[in-house]
Structure 1
């Protein structure tokens, strides 16, 4: 057996003593004020719905602790150790940062174990979490992003927070025939083909007359609460944004889409949608909110302004002109002077806006991402992408975040690039290019 020198043994002893001392210095629990004195970080281990503002019970508190980060225990199986490290780095956490968790006992322990495995050993529990309602923060319109159990309780006739004021419908939205819907869908859900709300050649929204007919066909009036979901969140968001433009007052989307319902293990149905009784009248003029859409001339007028942002929700390769992003859009490039609002890895992904489970990333993260490109809540902001789907998803998030003056440039890159006189940019560039 190899002998250990006295010097090595002493060094090992000192190292262990130092680690023991650090562990001893870190209390099992901390109050928010104690954590703030140490410039530490609070982490909410609950599902994002509760972090965003949904109460966990009808009489429960609403929101999250000030400046809390959300690291839901439900995401951990989908996150590698490297992804945990990336998440921590994105939020400026180091192994020396004091962390305090709150949520449930099981969720706290699960997150604590993963953080410690990643080298974050200064982890306590927040002892006064959710006990001072006045200090809690929430999405201004969290109710616009519903979660699976809320829909289920509503369908069961049970009382729910932010209940619809009148009649309501759950509808799945997707492109084309309802092939996946036929296999399984939320019980009682209707089905809307996105071809009913947008059309070629540019995949812009259909005329107001066609919108009126489509809404009547699905039994939707201006005062019907419509809860939309999709296999892809942005399909539901596209329909939602157009319905809001038309004048439906209360339109919500299922945060995380079909995957969220499936992951929750809630009941499903098979087969064709039930026959719907058409609405005799929409009950209000269409469009009810024309300001939610901007056309090409309005989009051009928003460029290079401090009080407005025309925002590209496209992947970086699309933004710098490496690819158009679409097989049917040939020109590559970007609207000259547009600000990059992030997107995802390509034209069919939105990772920059999603938690690991596909739900909306925290509002603080999104606002910070946008601020770096001079996209601010007090501006007039219009989002666009290739043809409107990704832009509509970010519109719905900005709306839930309480941004007051947001719209979608419906034509997007497809329409803009079809007019050769429109200014186009390509190549690497930063936020200063839009000033």
Structure 2
């Protein structure tokens, strides 16, 4: 009371008036918020802001929650339609050029100083962390919202990816291994595999750095071989699955320090006919960031007698050279999508020391990738989780790639394209496949006019 007496009556009224202007508890109030502490927004106000050009709604939770998982006690999974994402987890990543990448991400998502920004979370922490970062970068008009309120209202929809269950959070894997029955798990036998190239004794990711308890190592040589690095024959793939204890009804969880090999094996397993294939979103880092331990002992493969289904049972999921040519010929309804760097696409480099020819299959369209054969930044967030659907589709639209078309993805030898195929599957696209041979196979007959090659920027 002593402090209040020191203020004049006019100052008190002035303060009340300012708070009324800055508040966001009712109506269509769009006043600027100059406070460093975000104001709380209620559901009715948030509904009014969605879609307005001077407002941006931001999901600050994990990528898994944005995709569709019910995390932190929310009643419905997914995100508010019209929201973009900027996860608080991204602020914890130790990455090269982190500050530059995050600032570019803000720009891409339209989170700028000119906008009113609504940050929402479900744990009461993520929005505050992102608000602090935005404030440091000159963004002042910040509000926050508890998404549990939206999710608990049966009249308000949340948007989830059609097959979000294909990318699992670390907590889901941990619950599964603790004997629980997490969301979307049907109770089938499961196996966890760490996937990387090389024998487990030589793999730095399995024994030296450690792996999820109980995880068995898969060497990518178990599913493909040179010189083309195509998948093995169907008979050999069947033996690979049986040797690893995998049947068509096994729930298979794949992960690694780099997720790309996991996606490669995952696509092959889906082609074979495994019904439930999952990849740990963000790989080993997401497991460690969640606070879960790794072990450094060897877990041996436990074989099964039979895969339990014909191989392949999902034949169209991977295609070969004849089908790739059919897709290129059907320009109006189909696209052969190049998941390589721009320099590989235009023929400046082959991208591989064992692939000499440069260029692309004539008629293929560029689908973006990363800076070289080991990167896929255009499809990943800074924590190596999947980039959001709207941004991927916008990127494709620039090359005339649309979800209603028949799409086959290729790269040099199938790794990058397998990851993008999985993302397309997560998003719910239907007529999609991996062209397994990719540039390595297509360019092998450089003197054959049946495999025409283009270089340079495509003609418009």
Unaligned runs of 5+ residues in structure 2 are 1-17, 24-30, 34-38
1:134-171 deviation digits (Å, cap 9, x = unpaired):
42101111111011111011100123111144111001
Matching residue of 2:314: 289
Q: Indicate the residue corresponding to 2:180 in structure 1.
A: 158
1-structure distance, mates of 2:288, 2:21: 43
1:92 pairs with 2:110 = yes
CA contact (8 A) 1:75 1:357 kept: yes
Counterpart of 1:26 in structure 2 is 32
Of residues 134, 146, 159 in structure 2, which corresponds to 1:115? 134
> What's the secondary structure of 2:434's corresponding residue?
strand
Q: CA RMSD in A?
A: 2.1
What residue number does 2:457 align with?
A: 428
Alignment of 1:361-376 (within 5 A): 361-376=387-402
Further displaced range: 179-188 or 28-37: 28-37
> Alpha carbons of 1:315 and 1:101: their partners in 2 closer, same or farther (altered >3 Å)?
same
**How many angstroms does 1:320 deviate by?**
1.1
Equivalent of residue 172 in structure 1, options 194, 206, 226: 194
Q: Aligned partners of 2:411 and 2:319: how far apart in 1?
A: 13
Separation in 2, partners of 1:287, 1:321: 34
Output the CA distance in 2 between the equivalents of 1:119 and 1:81.
Answer: 14
* TM-score (normalised: structure 2): 0.85
1:145 aligned partner: 167
Q: 1:22, CA displacement in angstroms?
A: 9.5
Per-residue deviation at 1:81? 4.4
* Alpha-carbon distance between aligned partners in 1 of 2:251 and 2:186, rounded to the nearest angstrom: 6
Alignment-derived partner of residue 66 in structure 2: 51
The equivalent of 1:189 in structure 2 is: 215
SS at match of 1:135: coil
Shift in Å, 1:283:
1.4
What's the counterpart of residue 226 of structure 2? 200
Note if 1:383 corresponds to 2:412. Answer: no
TM-score when normalising by structure 1: 0.90
Cα deviation per residue 1:165-218 (whole Å; 9 max; x = unaligned)? Answer: 411100111111122212210100111111111011200000001011111111
Cα 1:124–1:212 change in 2 (3 A) is: same
Q: Is residue 84–residue 118 contact of structure 1 (8 Å, CA) maintained in 2? A: no
Work out the CA distance in 2 between the residues paired with 1:316 and 1:154. Answer: 41
SS at match of 1:170: strand
2:370 & 2:157 partners in 1: Cα distance?
A: 34
Unaligned 5+ residue runs, structure 1? 1-18
Is the alpha carbon distance of 1:186 and 1:302 closer, same or farther for their aligned partners in structure 2, counting shifts above 3 Å? same
The equivalent of 1:132 in structure 2 is 153
Alignment-derived partner of residue 318 in structure 1: 344
CA distance in 2, matches of 1:268, 1:319: 39
Secondary structure of the corresponding residue to residue 332 of structure 2? coil
Partner SS state of residue 278, structure 2: strand
How many residue pairs get aligned? The number is 412
**1:124 counterpart SS class:** strand
Three-state SS of the structure 1 residue aligned to 2:125 is helix
Q: 2:263 aligned with 1:244, yes or no?
A: no
Q: Deviation of residue 424 (structure 1)?
A: 1.2
User: How far apart, CA to CA, are the structure 1 residues paired with 2:91 and 2:455?
Assistant: 38
Q: Which residue of 2 aligns with 1:299?
A: 324
Contact residue 50 and residue 57 of structure 2 kept, 8 A: no
d(CA) in 2 for partners of 1:406 and 1:228?
A: 21
Q: Deviations over 1:330-381 (max 9, x none)?
A: 0111112111111111000111111111111111111111122111111111
Report if aligned partners of 1:233, 1:256 keep a CA contact under 8 Å in 2.
Answer: yes
